Amino acid sequence: MADFKNTLNLPQTDFAMKANLSQSEPATLARWEAMGLYDRLERERANAPHFRFHDGPPYANGPIHVGHMVNKVLKDMVVRSRLMEGMRVPYTPGWDCHGLPIEHRVVGELVKKGKMKELDALPADIRRMAIRKACAADATKFIGVQAKGMQRLLTHADYAQPYMTMDPAYEAGTLQLFADLIEAGLVFRQLKPVHWSVANRTALAEAELEYEEREDPSIWVDFESSDAAAVAKAFGLESLDARPSFMIWTTTPWTLPANLAIAVGPTYRYALVRMDGSETILATDLLAKVKAAVGAENVEVLAETDGVKLVGLAYRHPFCEREGRVIGGEHVTLEDGTGLVHTAPGHGDEDWRVGLREGLRAYCPVRDDGTYDDTVPEWLRGVNIWDANAMVIRRLTESGHLVHHVMFNHSYPHDWRSKTPVIFRATEQWFIGVDRAMKQGGHTLRQLALEAVESKVRFVPEWGRNRLRGMLESRPDWCLSRQRAWGLPIPAFSLPDGSTFLTPASVRAVAEVVKQRGSDAWFTETPATLLAGYDPAKDPAAPKGLQVASLEKLFDIFDVWFEAGSSWNSVLRARGQGVPAELYLEGSDQHRGWFQLSLLPALGATGAPPFKSLVTHGFVVDRDGRKMSKSLGNALEVEDLLKEFGAEVCRWWVSGLAYENDIRMDKAFLTAAGEAYRKIRNTLRFLLGNIGDLPKGDVVKEAMATDPASLDGWALAELARVQGEVRDAFTRHAFREAHQTIFDFCNDTLSSVWCAAAKDRLYCDRADAPRRRQTQRVMRLAAESLCRLLAPVLPHTADEAFRSMHGPEVCVHLASHLNFSFTAHAGWPAAMTARAAALKALEEAKARGVENPLDAGLTLPDPDGALKPFAADLADLCGVSRVKLDPAAKSVIVTDLREAPRCERSRRRDESVRPRADGVPLSDRDAEAVGAA
RNA sequence: GCGCCAGUAGCUCAGCUGGCUAGAGCACGCCCCUGAUAAGGGCGAGGUCGAAGGUUCGAGUCCUUUCUGGCGCACCA
């Protein structure tokens, strides 16, 4: 039998079927780097419309994890899809460098190496510098590791010039912003209870807390009233034999030395009871609960009264030499306890607030190391508060004040890194006030922020608005200061009289020094040097008679969130990229983090938000829906995934996520993504393989000459529609829609319908036959367009295909979308419906022995002639040898052509097949193609 | 405790302002092709739309309650 294989125009391409991603991706990366792709785009697009996108700084701690991967790939699809729209997209990646986690680990290592003892012996400045140097090295190391990982994900960004919060220029920008906020009247220093990590001797931000189960004592204590007669009067009694007590409940016995008051709910009912022989007072509604809790046997109610009547009564502190008062408090609940709340303004936020109102001081007898100072009774001085719990209980037991004592488990805030329990402790801290009227305009930050959230920012998904609003409504003043070494110093000084010196001008002067020498200067230089550029005479805010030489440096550093939150200023503004950014895109946890803490400083300094839209994504969880994190040890390693699947497959997976929800992750999902990737790759390969011999020409223009009634016209219209939908989806950040549309186009429109149908003409028509050329021209446009549509998701593969078409010196990422539209014959949907019916009929014919569609002929019912315009393509479209249209037919008729002659070249049983001169049966078309008579 | 989100075929997800026998892809089963070949094509099976009430001529889609999972916030004196 004659072999016609080498007379066919079979696909030919250097675009390999096997992607070999883990090897070829790094090569692509190196190529982009060598050609200076980022800078080149910046140059070429200098005057193009500008898309401002701002990268939130990840913390430079450890290698990248799956969460980083999702975040960075989502961002990259934003960047690359805008680039493909022809825009200029400067994109500076950044890192958060300072902060406790790094310092904690570094110090831990110093301790392990035994170096910490030497350091502790050094002067404070020198010790801090040693720690800072080690921290800086640590941060630098991980920035390198992370940058490499992020680049390996094929993300497009200015990795040559990233921003780092520890850069001198960045630090100076942060300080200048701080000066603006001081000027706006938002910064103040105040004694306030804050979450205090005893282990790290520092105040913690809300974001640095973790709630964990912990066992604590739960005690009921009688506080003896000072004046029995007054109590009797409050209950409407004539007199009382014994001196009654106020029963309080607490789970932190160690805070009792700081007790200054008892709070009651003014509207609640309180009962005077005789409980197992002693008279005590507690909320009526809690009587039964307390009786059960403390195991009291005999309880007799003597009288009842309203809480408000108790306000003002005095009691004796059970072991300190002082009296306290009963006060009213709206925060008192009848959930737990006795309805009488032990109040220590130095150890609790609500206590402190009530205390402010009642004129109580924020008394805090606990030192930064968690031990008592000398203002407490002698037996407690120098004692660690956790040890004090038992001592206090013993003391109360001995003195007869303790009613009951049990141990119980509850959720308690812990320092997120050291995992040790946190306490509330009043200290001098720097704050940004959210309820202070600003000098300009008189609004508060909270008002401005709520207004911005309400009407000035877009949210994707929309419910982010509620979320941020809720947080802003309830957030307290922002505690800016930390008592650590690794961070940007708050450039405040103390004066000889103990007061604090910090003005906008002094901060700006220090900022200049920091800009030159970095924040290390604060530790290595004298106040005089730091303030060399400062002239008290020109500073209206300077204290009278200020002597710079008499100043001493203070050593608080900034909350790292303030540094990260000033990135719009230190990056977008400082680098001339402009504010506000079009978009911030981060995990939904950043509602309380970066989003909020960028918004507040920006509003304080400029009055406007630093972003126009906020897009958030959920967290990556494992197959069972559990959070994936390093600390839980159930995380998949990005490095392994890249090795096993390649960045492109990972990116394809990310592009298909419903990212606003939690993101379930399993290797099986990546395997599936890999299958989809191969499908797309093979489809692209088929297109590339079939257009190699097409003479060069205007890609769009030539395709536009396609016959709208031809199958190619149908495919072209589909292509135009898909391109429009995908581009629109990208601009809406609806990556999943784009992903779906691209896949369906490749899988269905191309692979299953068009490519399958076009095979015959592509392979068997004479190479330059007009019919074949038309198909090729549309295929070429499809390939060109597809490369561009895929570029944001599969930057490597898109570039590989593009180079396969245009040669090794080009890059798809320098290109932008082709603009075209095309309308096919309006009858195509009906033709496709007819095709579906035909395929079903063919399936049924298999039972009768017609298993190969090329052994079949079809008679399609066409009552109104709707199929006539497509007659030429119907056989190919259905994969059969012949199609007849019959206005009278009721349903599809499959004709068995197994006895009909078969063309040896095309394998079709066409009507025109007949033996040629050499006796070989060929159809007319094939005979012509090989020049046979 | 409060707020928010999700719960549709084995898996990942569509189903807009309520309206024909609830869709897609993957996976699965059977079959074809062997000239995209560690490819390609066809057909098929598969769902009480978390549960229970209610509104309606009609509800996956609206209301109420409830269960499960997740996230956030608060409280823990």
What count of other Cβ atoms lies within 10 Å of the Cβ of residue A682? 16
A398 and A340 in a common domain: yes
* Overall domain count for chain A: 3
| Single-letter amino acid code for the residue at A95 | W
In a domain, residue A78? The reply is no
**pLDDT computed for residue A1 by the predictor:** 47
Do A739 and A777 belong together in one domain? yes
Burial readout A373-387 (b: 16 or more C-beta within 10 A, e: otherwise) = eeebeeebeebebee
Q: Report the DSSP beta bridge partners of residue A494.
A: A500, A552
Q: Does ipTM surpass 0.85 in this model?
A: yes
A667 & A768 share domain: yes
User: Which residues of chain A have a pLDDT value below 70?
Assistant: 1-2, 205-208, 330, 416-417, 624-626, 629-634
Q: Give the full edge-to-edge strand order of the sheet including A458-460.
A: A53-54, A581-587, A611-617, A458-460
Asked, for residue A39, whether it belongs to a domain, the answer is no
Rounded to whole angstroms, the Cα distance separating A673 from A743 reads 11
Same domain, yes or no, for A852 and A754?
Answer: no
What is the C-alpha separation between A68 and A316, in angstroms, rounded? 57
What is the distance between the alpha carbons of residues A753 and A829, in angstroms, rounded to a whole number? 13
Residues 292-351 of chain A in contact with strand B via CB under 7 angstroms: 331-333, 335-337, 341-344, 348-351
For residues A269 and A414, membership in a common domain is answered with yes
Domain boundary among the residues A770, A792, A814 is at: A814
Statement: the CB of A126 is under 7 Å from strand B: no
Q: How far is the CA of A719 from the C1' of B29 (A)?
A: 33
Same domain, A747 and A860: no
Between the CA of residue A830 and those of A264, A294, A720, A836, A853, what are the distances in Å? 78, 82, 20, 10, 21
Query: Does A116 reside within a domain?
Result: no
How many Å apart are CA A931 and CA A933, to the nearest integer? 7
Same domain, A762 and A848: no
Report which of residues 17-46 in chain A place their beta carbon less than 7 angstroms from any atom of strand B.
17
Is A683 (CB) below 7 Å from strand B?
yes
A411-CA/B1-C1' distance, Å: 14
**The residue to which tokens 């095709």 are assigned:** A835
In a domain, residue A893? The reply is: yes
- Classify residue A854: in a domain, yes or no: yes
The one-letter code for the residue type at A665 is: M
Please check whether residue A92 is in contact with residue A162, taking contact to mean a CB–CB distance below 8 angstroms.
Answer: yes
Half-sphere exposure of A99 (CA within 13 A, CB side): 24
Rounded CA–C1' distance between A753 and B41, in angstroms: 9
Q: How far apart are CA A9 and CA A30, in angstroms?
A: 36
Does residue A726 fall inside a structural domain?
A: yes
Using only C-alpha atoms, what is the Rg of chain A? Answer: 38
Q: DSSP assignment of A401-457, as one string?
A: -EEEEEEEEEEEEEETTT-PBEEEEEEEEEEE-SSSPPTTTT--HHHHHHHHHHHT-
Positions of chain B reached by protein Cβ under 7 A: 3-6, 11-14, 24-27, 31-44, 69-77
Q: CB of residue A657 closer than 7 A to nucleic acid strand B?
A: yes
**Interatomic CA–C1' length for residue A592 and nucleotide B4, angstroms:** 14
| Burial class, A388, CB count within 10 angstroms (exposed 0-12 / middle 13-18 / buried 19+) | buried
Measure the CA–CA gap between A763 and A12, rounded to whole angstroms.
11
The 10s digit of each residue's pLDDT in A756-778 is 999 999 999 999 999 999 999 99
**Residue–nucleotide distance: A829 CA to B19 C1' (Å):** 24
Structure tokens that stand for A633 in this block: 């040890």
- The reply to whether A541 falls in a domain is no
- Side-chain-side CA neighbours of A582 within 13 Å: the count stands at 17
| CA A356 and chain centroid, separation | 38
A850 strand B contact, CB < 7 Å: no
Distance in Å, residue A475 CA to nucleotide B73 C1' = 10
**A327 CA from B3 C1′ (Å):** 31
Q: Buried b / exposed e across A791-827, counting CB within 10 Å, b at 16+?
A: bbbbbbbbbbbbbbbeeeeebbbebbbeebebebbeb
- Provide the CATH number for the domain around residue A288: 3.90.740.10
For A613, residues 6+ apart whose C-beta sits below 8 A from its C-beta are A457, A458, A459, A460, A582, A583, A584
**Residue A847: domain span:** 828-930
> Per-residue pLDDT tens for A15-48?
999 999 999 999 999 999 999 999 999 999 999 9
A833 belongs to a structural domain: yes
Residue A790 shares a structural domain with residue A857: no
Å from A282 (CA) to B60 (C1')? 53
CA–CA dist A346, A12 (Å, integer)? 79
Q: How far is the CA of A155 from the C1' of B61 (A)?
A: 40
Q: Which residue has the tokens 């007072």?
A: A281
Please check whether residues A898 and A777 belong to one and the same domain. no
Same domain, A791 and A893: no
Q: What is the CATH number of the domain that holds A905?
A: 3.30.2320
Residue ending a domain, among A756, A779, A814, is: A814
User: Domain boundary at A759, A786, A814, which?
Assistant: A814
Same domain, A756 and A848: no
> Does A411 contact strand B, using a CB cutoff of 7 Å?
yes
Proximity of residue A412 CB to strand B below 7 A: yes
What CATH number should be reported for the domain holding residue A808?
1.10.730.10
> Among A727, A721, A720, A717, which residue's Cα sits nearest to residue A789?
A727
Q: Which residues of chain A between 749 and 778 are close to nucleic strand B, CB under 7 A?
A: 750-753, 755-756, 759, 763-764
The strand B neighbours among A residues 259-298, by Cβ under 7 Å, are 263
Give the model's pLDDT for residue A394.
93
A211 exposure class (CB count in 10 Å sphere: 0-12, 13-18, 19+): exposed
In angstroms, the CA of A558 and the C1' of B55 are apart by 57
Distance CA A538, CA A536 (A): 5
Q: Distance (Å) from CA A843 to C1' B46?
A: 20
Quick one: A698 and A833 in the same domain? no
